[in-house]
């Protein structure tokens, strides 16, 4: 889908505050509210915007430990391991990767004991050959927005 400057500005504004009223976005961009409604509907229909959501700080809701889990997985089990990782409430991001590891996941746990239990559960998934875990010690930057 080709995005023009109005589409990109709408996306920029919605990334900052997805609750901003369409009327306010229209005023800011000097277009009609109908234009904003039409374009946001099109961006949703085309899959450019996949959903609107609240960003939550995991530590504020009791998930004190964040870790990166990197897995080597048998090729025949890759799909099933993906499904199992995605189904875990503790997993926030699950990526397929190239290089030394097949899967990289970002997980959140209540504490180190919980993380240990979670890692043991993940290691027990059929097809997991090796797991490497790194605990995140400092959050430097998290930016879920895309610069357009």
Residues 30, 75 within the same domain: no
CA distance 112 to 81: 23
Q: Are 102 and 129 in contact (CB under 8 A)?
A: no
Residues 97, 130 within the same domain: yes
The answer to whether residue 62 is domain-embedded is: yes
What H or E segment, with its residue span, contains residue 132? Answer: strand 128-135
C-beta atoms surrounding 89 within 10 Å:
9
CA distance 119 to 71: 11
Q: Residue 146 contacts by C-beta under 8 Å, 6 or more apart in sequence?
A: 11, 15
The answer to whether residue 20 is domain-embedded is: yes
144, pLDDT greater than 90: no
The answer to whether residue 97 is domain-embedded is: yes
Q: Are 11 and 40 in contact (CB under 8 A)?
A: no
Residues 62, 106 within the same domain: yes
CA distance 112 to 125: 20
Q: What percent of the chain has pLDDT over 90?
A: 93
The answer to whether residue 146 is domain-embedded is: no
Residues 114, 67 within the same domain: yes
Q: Name the strands in the sheet holding 103-109, side by side, starting at the edge strand that comes first in the sequence.
A: 91-96, 103-109, 65-73, 128-135
Residues 17, 71 within the same domain: no
Residue range of the domain that includes 17 = 5-45
Residues 73, 107 within the same domain: yes
Residues 74, 110 within the same domain: yes
| CATH code where residue 83 lies | 3.30.70.920
Q: What is the DSSP letter of 101?
A: -
Predicted confidence (pLDDT) per residue in 95-142, tens digit: 999 999 999 999 999 999 999 999 999 999 999 999 999 999 998 988
The answer to whether residue 22 is domain-embedded is: yes
| CATH code where residue 10 lies | 1.10.10.10
Give the CA-trace dihedral at 70, 71, 75, 76, to 10 degrees. -130
Q: What is the pLDDT of residue 143?
A: 87
The total domain count for the chain is 2
The answer to whether residue 11 is domain-embedded is: yes
The answer to whether residue 147 is domain-embedded is: no
What is the average pLDDT across 17-42? 98
């Amino acid at each position: 889908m080709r995005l023009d400057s109005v589409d990109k500005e709408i996306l920029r504004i919605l990334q900052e505050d997805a609750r901003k009223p369409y009327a306010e976005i229209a005023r800011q961009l000097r277009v009609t509210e109908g234009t904003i409604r039409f374009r946001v509907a099109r961006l949703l229909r085309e899959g450019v915007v996949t959903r609107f959501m609240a960003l939550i700080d995991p530590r504020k809701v009791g998930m004190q430990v964040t870790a990166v889990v990197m897995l080597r997985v048998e090729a025949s089990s890759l799909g099933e391991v993906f499904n199992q990782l995605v189904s875990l409430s503790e997993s926030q991001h699950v990526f397929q990767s190239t290089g030394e590891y097949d899967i990289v996941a970002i997980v959140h746990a209540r504490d180190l004991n919980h993380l240990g239990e979670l890692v043991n559960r993940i290691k027990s998934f059929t097809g997991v050959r090796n797991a490497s875990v790194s605990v995140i010690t400092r959050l430097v930057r998290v930016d879920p927005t895309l610069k357009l």
